[in-house]
Amino acid sequence: MDLHQIITDIADEIATDAATIEAAADAKHAGATPGPFGMAIATGDGVLTAGAAATPFPIQSIAKVLALDLALCAQGDRVFRRVGREPSGDPFNSVIDLERTQGVPRNPFINAGALVVVDMLVADRPDGDAVVDFVRGQLKGHPVTLDQDVLNEGGDLNRAMLSFMKHHDNLDGPIDRVMDAYGKQCAIAVDCVGLALAGRFLTRTRIDPHNEGEAERARRMRTVLALMMTCGHYDGSGDFAVRVGLPAKSGVGGGIIAIAPECASIAVWSPNLDQHGNSILGVRALEMLAARTGWSVFGPAIDQTRR
């Protein structure tokens, strides 16, 4: 399979049809100029790129995946005593959903759940840099910055959810400390290459029955990927699963990280979002990639030797 040719073709087709694709979508902001679009695929052999793959963007909610992995490393399944594992069916910043569950967020990828996960991390890292340092460690010198606009964003609704969870005894640390750490991880800015590299560790899902440490790590990856599949695109997760068939997580910065287990970490970026907060062109590109490679958690990849 010539992956470089596949993603080059996809980027060219996206560039040609961007206006049509975005016009047909339920866009969050009408009238936005279509594109640009970038894509990178990180495999064990290196990184392939197409389009605007070198344009940096804040990863925003994609950081929730990395924070969850760090929390699971530290606490194991005790994480799920404080946050659930079920899709919410509501927007990512829903207060109503949190009220229904008496302060226990539905999953780690809605804002309330991500804030609880950050609360777990700041218990050990009061400086709030756990996820930032993790990304820098994964990228080994590839540029990583913090987006100042994201750092300066307000957070009244998130503060309200933290106060609500504190009322229900589901918050341990100071609200300001959790907010600071959450803002830092959302502000992490990388390009598609950096995002693909940051997520490459998630591809290692094969369980080695002869190595308990590796088996435990693989089981943790499977937990994270399962939640990405069911909750990674909020109330658009079911549609994404049908169209793409890969675990993925989106961010309102326009990025999406998708994982083909044991194959590749895929990053796409384009800034215009649909009503669920997912990149319109990014979702379309991943749909095209899955169709042309056969990558899916629901069936085997295409056998290129039999074509």
Q: What is the pLDDT of residues 113-158, one digit of tens each?
A: 999 999 999 999 999 999 999 999 999 889 999 999 999 998 899 9
Q: What is the pLDDT of residue 304?
A: 56
The pLDDT tens digits for 280-305 are: 999 999 999 999 999 999 988 776 55
User: Is residue 307 over pLDDT 80?
Assistant: no
Residue 91 has pLDDT above 80, yes or no: no
Q: Are strands 264-269 and 145-146 parallel, antiparallel or unpaired?
A: unpaired
Instruction: Work out whether strand 57-58 and strand 46-51 pair parallel, antiparallel, or are unpaired.
Output: unpaired
For the chain, give the percent of residues with pLDDT over 90. 82
pLDDT, mean of residues 13-28: 92
CA–CA separation, 136 vs 233, rounded Å?
A: 25
Average pLDDT, the chain: 94
Q: Which of 282, 203, 292, 293 is nearest to 36 (CA)?
A: 282
Beta strands per DSSP E along 65-135: none
| C-alpha span between 42 and 142 (Å, rounded) | 14
Residue 32: helix, strand or coil by DSSP?
coil
pLDDT of residue 55: 97
Beta-strand (E) ranges in the chain?
A: 38-43, 46-51, 57-58, 145-146, 188-190, 248-250, 255-260, 264-269
Is residue 205 predicted with pLDDT exceeding 80? yes
Amino acid, res. 203: T
Which residues 6+ apart lie within 8 Å of 23 measured at CB? none
Angle (CA) 188 62 18, round 5°: 100
pLDDT digits (tens, 9 = 90+) for 169-196: 999 999 999 999 999 999 999 999 999 9
Tell me how far apart the terminal alpha carbons of the chain are, to the nearest angstrom.
11
Q: Of 92, 59, 113, which Cα lies nearest the Cα of 233?
A: 92
**pTM assigned to the model:** 0.94
CA 22/CA 143 separation, integer angstroms:
30
Measured CA to CA, the distance from residue 103 to residue 167 in angstroms comes to 8
pLDDT band at 255 (very low <50, low <70, confident <90, very high): very high
Name the pairing type of β-strands 248-250 and 264-269. unpaired
Question: pLDDT tens digits, residue range 234-250?
Answer: 888 999 999 999 999 99
Report the amino acid identity of residue 98: L
Distance CA 106, CA 80 (A): 10
Share of the chain above pLDDT 70, in %: 98
Strand 248-250, strand 188-190: pairing = unpaired
φ, ψ for residue 94 (rounded to 5)?
A: -70, 125
Other CB atoms within 10 A of residue 267 CB: 30
| Nearest-angstrom CA–CA distance, 36 and 58 | 15
**260 close to 42: Cβ distance less than 8 angstroms:** no
pLDDT at 303: 66
pLDDT above 50 for 100: yes
